[in-house]
């Protein structure tokens, strides 16, 4: 469904110092830097997958999505989506994809979303009968029957995002590129959007590539994750494999019947949290059974659960490790190649 082979994307970025004199000089002689946003990225995604596309700010996620959607031309490498070369923007290709960006909108500001829906029907040449069936299904799933008839400027952020999703899916795309679709939404609205994405994938077999800084989105939707940092691939595999590779320890959450001394807990494992009612210990997999037995035998345990470390901590450790490796390369103490340049801020460079 999606094949990316050695993708590289570079931008020429104008650099100048602050001040009037520097601004005048730049009118006659401009200095440019070449910034590499994506470096030698190789990825394959099969039909029907839900894949999380993760990385810190400036990692190249949005740039990659724009290349896959045909908005940006790659500097090097090969990209195929549904057998098409995205940059050619062939009508048959555009009819089968959609790109939803949480920080941008396609809804007409002074008109109700229902008018944007009709406009998209005409743009994509969707038959009237198919359009109505698809629209009614999405409207019911998202609960926007009344919302879509109000002017867009009167809608809340959550209402606008739900209408954005509806507008983006009315033509029945086979591939969904979703760039932070839950950004800025409250917890209830985030759950609604996540559930809608999951149901859409399961009912229609759509392939989903999702970027998000909310780890709850990834845990709820994406069995597989692709992680990039400074434009380079860091990890590609199942989510549980990422957790095991970055943090092989387990967390034991203990609810206590009465307070215990911290020293008693430290004798069993590393104490992550300790208060009168709850203690959280971190132990290696090899010593997990022994630690649980000692807790149950020697402490006033009311309840006990075993969990993986939080995904936020796993990602933080992974990025710190990659940053250290990049620093070693830049100093000449690591592997081949020089230091990596930071790419432009996510969303830039598309003009």
The answer to whether residue 44 sits within a structural domain is yes
The answer to whether residue 334 sits within a structural domain is no
Q: Percent of the chain, pLDDT > 90?
A: 52
Read off the pLDDT band of 329 (50, 70, 90).
Answer: low
Question: Is pLDDT at 96 greater than 50 in this prediction?
Answer: yes
Read off the pLDDT band of 336 (50, 70, 90).
Answer: very low
pLDDT at 331: 59
Read off the pLDDT band of 326 (50, 70, 90).
Answer: low
Residue 193 shares a structural domain with residue 223: yes
Last residue of a domain, one of 243, 264, 295: 243
Which residues does 231 contact at the CB level (< 8 Å), separation at least 6? 9, 36, 37, 38, 39, 41, 59, 60, 63, 340, 343
CATH number at residue 79: 3.40.50.300
Query: How many domains are contained in the chain?
Result: 2
> What's the predicted TM-score (pTM) here?
0.81
Show the domain range for 142. 2-243
Residue 136 shares a structural domain with residue 252: no
Residue 224 shares a structural domain with residue 198: yes
Residue 145 shares a structural domain with residue 6: yes
Residue 146 shares a structural domain with residue 264: no
Residue 86 shares a structural domain with residue 219: yes
pLDDT at 330: 57
Mean pLDDT (the chain) is 87
Last residue of a domain, one of 198, 217, 243: 243
| Closest of 8, 81, 70, 89 to residue 44, by C-alpha | 81
The answer to whether residue 343 sits within a structural domain is no
For range 32-61, the mean pLDDT: 93
pLDDT digits (tens, 9 = 90+) for 162-213: 999 999 999 999 999 999 988 888 888 889 899 999 999 999 999 999 998 8
Residue 238 shares a structural domain with residue 264: no
Residue 283 shares a structural domain with residue 217: no
Residue 225 shares a structural domain with residue 265: no
Residue 28 shares a structural domain with residue 86: yes
pLDDT at 349: 43
pLDDT at 343: 43
Rounded to whole angstroms, how far apart are CA atoms 83 and 14? 36
pLDDT at 213: 85
Higher pLDDT, 45 or 101: 45
For range 244-266, the mean pLDDT: 88
The answer to whether residue 259 sits within a structural domain is yes
The answer to whether residue 319 sits within a structural domain is no
pLDDT at 65: 95
Read off the pLDDT band of 342 (50, 70, 90).
Answer: very low
Question: Is pLDDT at 321 greater than 80 in this prediction?
Answer: no
The answer to whether residue 326 sits within a structural domain is no
Q: What is the CA radius of gyration of the chain?
A: 24
Rounded to whole angstroms, how far apart are CA atoms 264 and 261? 5
Question: Is pLDDT at 341 greater than 50 in this prediction?
Answer: no
Question: Is pLDDT at 150 greater than 50 in this prediction?
Answer: yes
Residue 134 has phi, psi (to 5 degrees) of -65, -45
pLDDT digits (tens, 9 = 90+) for 202-235: 999 999 999 988 888 998 999 999 999 889 999 9
Last residue of a domain, one of 215, 243, 271: 243
For range 73-79, the mean pLDDT: 95
Residue 71 shares a structural domain with residue 196: yes
The answer to whether residue 138 sits within a structural domain is yes
Read off the pLDDT band of 315 (50, 70, 90).
Answer: confident
- Please state whether beta strands 278-283 and 270-274 pair in parallel, antiparallel, or not at all (unpaired): antiparallel
Read off the pLDDT band of 245 (50, 70, 90).
Answer: confident
pLDDT at 328: 62
The answer to whether residue 7 sits within a structural domain is yes
Let me know if 350 is exposed, middle or buried by CB neighbors in 10 A (0-12, 13-18, 19+).
exposed
CATH number at residue 256: 3.30.70.980
Range in 8-17, 64-73, 141-150, 329-338 the model is least confident about: 329-338
Which residues does 248 contact at the CB level (< 8 Å), separation at least 6? 284, 285
Residue 237 shares a structural domain with residue 94: yes
pLDDT at 179: 92
For range 88-96, the mean pLDDT: 94
């Amino acid at each position: 469904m999606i094949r990316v082979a050695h993708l590289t994307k570079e931008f020429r970025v104008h650099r100048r110092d602050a001040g009037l004199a520097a601004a005048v000089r730049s009118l006659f002689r401009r200095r440019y830097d070449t910034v590499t946003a994506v470096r030698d990225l190789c990825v394959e995604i099969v039909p029907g997958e839900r894949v999380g596309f993760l990385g810190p700010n400036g990692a190249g996620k949005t740039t990659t999505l724009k290349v896959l959607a045909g908005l940006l031309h790659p500097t090097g490498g090969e990209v195929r989506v549904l057998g098409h070369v995205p940059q050619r923007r062939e009508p048959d290709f555009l009819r089968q994809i959609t790109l939803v960006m949480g920080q941008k909108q396609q809804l007409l500001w002074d008109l109700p979303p229902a008018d944007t829906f009709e406009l998209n029907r005409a743009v994509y040449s969707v038959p009237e009968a198919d359009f109505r069936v698809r629209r009614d299904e999405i409207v019911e799933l998202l609960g926007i029957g009344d919302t879509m008839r109000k002017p867009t400027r009167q809608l809340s952020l959550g209402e606008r995002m739900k209408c954005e999703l509806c507008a983006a899916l009315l033509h029945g795309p086979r591939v969904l590129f979703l760039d932070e679709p839950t950004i800025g939404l409250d917890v209830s609205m985030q759950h609604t959007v996540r559930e809608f994405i999951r149901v859409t994938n399961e009912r229609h077999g759509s392939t989903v590539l999702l970027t998000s800084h909310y780890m709850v989105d990834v845990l709820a939707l994406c069995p597989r994750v692709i992680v990039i940092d400074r434009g380079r691939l860091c990890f590609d595999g199942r989510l549980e494999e990422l957790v095991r590779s970055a943090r092989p320890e387990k967390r034991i959450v203990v609810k206590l019947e009465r307070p215990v001394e911290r020293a008693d807990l430290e004798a069993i494992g590393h104490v992550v949290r300790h208060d009168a009612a709850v203690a959280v210990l971190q132990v290696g997999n090899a010593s997990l059974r022994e630690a649980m037995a000692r807790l149950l035998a020697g402490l006033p345990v009311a309840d006990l659960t075993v969990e993986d470390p939080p995904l936020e901590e796993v990602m933080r450790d992974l990025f710190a490790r990659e940053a250290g490796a990049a620093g070693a390369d830049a100093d000449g103490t690591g592997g081949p190649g020089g230091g990596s340049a930071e790419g432009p801020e996510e969303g830039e460079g598309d003009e």
